[in-house]
Amino acid sequence: MRLVLLGAPGSGKGTQAARLKVALEVPHISTGDLLRAAVAAGTPLGLKAKAVMEAGQLVSDAIVLGMLEQRLAQADAQAGFILDGYPRNLAQVQALDDLLARLGQPLEAVVKLKVPSEVIVGRTELRFKAEGRADDHPDTVRKRLAIYAEQTAPVAEYYARAGTLRIVDGVGSLDEVFARILAALSPAVAASALR
Ligand code: B4P
């Protein structure tokens, strides 16, 4: 299964992807996690990304695409993947289409988690208190939500027009949201199993 998970920052993409990777037996590839790992390792790329992420902005398309290409080339991604946090703007949609066409691995499903902004601000504030992630500060989350509305919402519209988008209510317990995603994916999972 080759799946893209869309949703605002804090909508629960990473949380649900951790469960989906077990159910679908494909790796969870989060561009946010790849960037945070580069920051933690202090690589030149991580040093560039750190300030951008802490300000709640998007890291440059070229940096994120380079990281993603490397990750998709790894052996475990040949059987499929759950892409979380990518694509985040229309340029990244085009880059992903081109990359997957080159790899002969077209997307099979796109799921968007729909969560109201006030719920997101509440969730990320809890994580800010628990983990101290700079981009979870409420002021920064509001900035990230504005960037999402401006740059990432058109990505969902693109996949809706292409007929691949499924929208799932992301408010509820982790089990409830997970069950909704599996239900939304069941036609795509069945089609993938036939291939
Ligand atoms: P991400 O890593 O994508 O952001 P996130 O806040 O972790 O979002 P996610 O939706 O995964 O939320 P989570 O499950 O953790 O991006 C971070 C930054 O990286 C971006 O701002 C950007 O700078 C950079 N970046 C990443 N990809 C990029 C790209 N493609 N291009 C450019 N820049 C890029 O859930 C959030 C919280 O809610 C957690 O505390 C969780 O426990 C809680 N939660 C989840 N589900 C819940 C539920 N059902 N009920 C209650 N709480 C829930």
CB of 11 closer than 6 A to ligand 1? yes
pLDDT tens track for 130-176: 999 999 999 999 999 999 999 999 999 999 999 999 999 999 999 99
Please state, in angstroms and as integers, the Cα–Cα distance from residue 104 to each residue in 63, 75, 107, 163, following that order.
Answer: 23, 15, 10, 20
Catalytic site positions: 13, 88, 127, 133, 144
Contact 154, 163 (CB under 8 A): no
Give the pLDDT confidence score for residue 193 in this predicted structure.
65
Burial class (CB in 10 A: 0-12, 13-18, 19+), 77: middle
Local confidence band at 194 (pLDDT 50, 70, 90 cut-offs): low
| Residue 168 DSSP SS3 | strand
pLDDT tens track for 150-163: 999 999 999 999 99
Give the pLDDT confidence score for residue 195 in this predicted structure.
66
Helix (H) or strand (E) holding 64: helix 61-72
User: Among the atoms of ligand 1, which is closest to the Cα of residue 35?
Assistant: 19
Residue bearing the CA closest to ligand 1, atom 22: 58
Angstrom distance (rounded) from CA 122 to CA 144: 14
Angstrom distance (rounded) from CA 105 to CA 115: 30
Distance 100 CA to ligand 1 centre (A): 24
Distance 195 CA to ligand 1 centre (A): 32
Residues facing 105 on adjacent strands: none
CB of 53 closer than 6 A to ligand 1? yes
Give the pLDDT confidence score for residue 187 in this predicted structure.
82
The domains of the chain, with CATH numbers, are 2-24+79-193 (3.40.50.300)
pLDDT tens track for 3-62: 999 999 999 999 999 999 999 999 999 999 999 999 999 999 999 999 999 999 999 999
Mean pLDDT throughout 73-89? 96
Closest CA to 53 of 118, 123, 133, 156: 133
